[in-house]
């Protein structure tokens, strides 16, 4: 069995999904690369398939990131999974390696990555509860999220809650070179701003159901790793790739 599989949720990301798929498929150790078409009305599925992905569908016109990730997990078999958003630009194989390596090495149960925000803001964002869609984790972590809590964009916070409640080690790093294509870029202010605000409200609703003490538990078991990704030198990339091998279960 390959060391890890990749799950890419996608909804109307025809212009960017192929680049993400190609980078994932070129990553040493990557097994299945699964794109979950979450009710797209454009050519997302066709673009993903032409780039070499296995394409599955949520079977619903209404988008739900939680449902898309659940469907993707069902379509994979590896014990380690990499989740990667389909609206990320400048993606390279080294970004997948940087996410997967800490989990495969047995050091952590969850490995998160964020796009760069700049030297002054990165230290702040690295210590916030991560809502990033760029992460690697053991399959059992996702399985630990109850079905009742698998709702839309809240899924990433619910994954964090599993890690915090079980007091499991996690890591986070800046994935140098990446850029996120925002909703405003995709559909303009008139449609993009309401969509962004709706996502923000959905995430803030988590404050009602996730105890604040879990944030402290998360921070106590967090490792902030050096920036990686595109900035890796060829030698550094080779060293990281050497970690892409089956590893013992992480330490509790």
Q: Give pLDDT tens digits for 40-94.
A: 999 999 999 999 999 999 987 677 899 999 999 999 999 999 999 999 999 999 9
| Sign of the dihedral defined by the CA atoms of residues 37, 38, 39, 43, in that order | negative
pLDDT, residue 238, reads 41
By residue range, what is the domain housing residue 193? 4-232
pLDDT, residue 211, reads 80
Domain assignment of residue 251, yes or no? no
Write the CATH number for 153: 3.90.550.10
Distances (CA, A) of 236 to 7, 92, 131, 140, 206: 25, 14, 27, 30, 38
Highest mean pLDDT among 25-29, 183-187, 197-201, 248-252: 25-29
Identify the band that residue 204 occupies on the pLDDT scale cut at 50, 70 and 90.
low
| Residue 192: pLDDT over 50 | yes
Q: Label residue 152 exposed, middle or buried (CB < 10 Å: 0-12, 13-18, 19+).
A: middle
| Beta-strand relationship, 88-89 and 179-180 | antiparallel
pLDDT, residue 198, reads 67
Return d(Cα 179, Cα 81) in angstroms, integer.
22
Domain assignment of residue 208, yes or no? yes
pLDDT, residue 140, reads 97
Domain assignment of residue 185, yes or no? yes
If one compares 155 and 184, the residue with the highest pLDDT of the two is: 155
Number of structural domains the chain divides into: 1
| Residue 242: pLDDT over 50 | no
Average pLDDT, the chain: 86
Identify the band that residue 243 occupies on the pLDDT scale cut at 50, 70 and 90.
very low
Distances (CA, A) of 31 to 40, 54, 75, 141: 25, 11, 12, 19
| Residue 214: pLDDT over 60 | yes
pLDDT, residue 245, reads 41
Domain assignment of residue 239, yes or no? no
Q: What is the mean pLDDT of residues 150-158?
A: 88
Domain assignment of residue 41, yes or no? yes
Domain assignment of residue 162, yes or no? yes
Return d(Cα 242, Cα 246) in angstroms, integer.
11
CB 114 within 8 A of CB 128: no
Domain assignment of residue 178, yes or no? yes
Q: pTM here?
A: 0.85
Within the chain, what is the greatest distance between any pair of CA atoms? Answer: 50
Q: Label residue 118 exposed, middle or buried (CB < 10 Å: 0-12, 13-18, 19+).
A: exposed
Return d(Cα 114, Cα 116) in angstroms, integer.
6
Question: What residues form DSSP beta bridges with 83?
Answer: 7, 135
Q: Which of 86-90, 218-222, 244-248 has the lowest mean pLDDT?
A: 244-248
């Amino acid at each position: 069995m390959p060391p890890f599989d990749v799950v890419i949720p996608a909804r109307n990301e025809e212009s960017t999904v192929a680049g993400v798929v190609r980078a994932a498929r070129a990553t040493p150790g990557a097994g299945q690369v699964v794109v979950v078409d979450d009710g797209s009305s454009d050519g997302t599925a066709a673009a993903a398939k032409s780039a070499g992905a296995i394409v599955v569908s949520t079977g619903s016109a209404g988008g739900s990131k939680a449902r898309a990730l659940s469907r993707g997990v069902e379509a994979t078999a590896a014990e380690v999974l990499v989740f990667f958003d389909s609206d990320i630009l400048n993606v390279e194989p080294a970004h997948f390696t940087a996410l997967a390596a800490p989990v495969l090495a047995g050091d952590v149960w969850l490995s998160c990555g964020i796009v760069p925000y700049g030297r002054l803001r990165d230290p702040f964002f690295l210590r916030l509860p991560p809502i990033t869609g760029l992460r690697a984790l053991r399959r059992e972590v996702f399985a630990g999220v109850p079905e009742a809590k698998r709702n839309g964009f809240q899924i990433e916070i619910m994954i964090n809650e599993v890690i915090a409640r079980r007091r499991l080690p996690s890591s986070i790093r800046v994935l140098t070179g990446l850029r996120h294509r925002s909703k405003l870029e995709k559909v303009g202010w008139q449609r993009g701003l309401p969509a962004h605000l709706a996502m923000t409200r959905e995430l803030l609703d988590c404050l009602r159901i996730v105890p604040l003490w879990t944030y402290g538990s998360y921070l106590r078991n967090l490792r902030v790793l050096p920036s990686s990704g595109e900035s890796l030198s060829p030698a550094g990339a080779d060293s990281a790739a050497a970690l892409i091998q089956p590893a013992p279960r992480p330490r509790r």
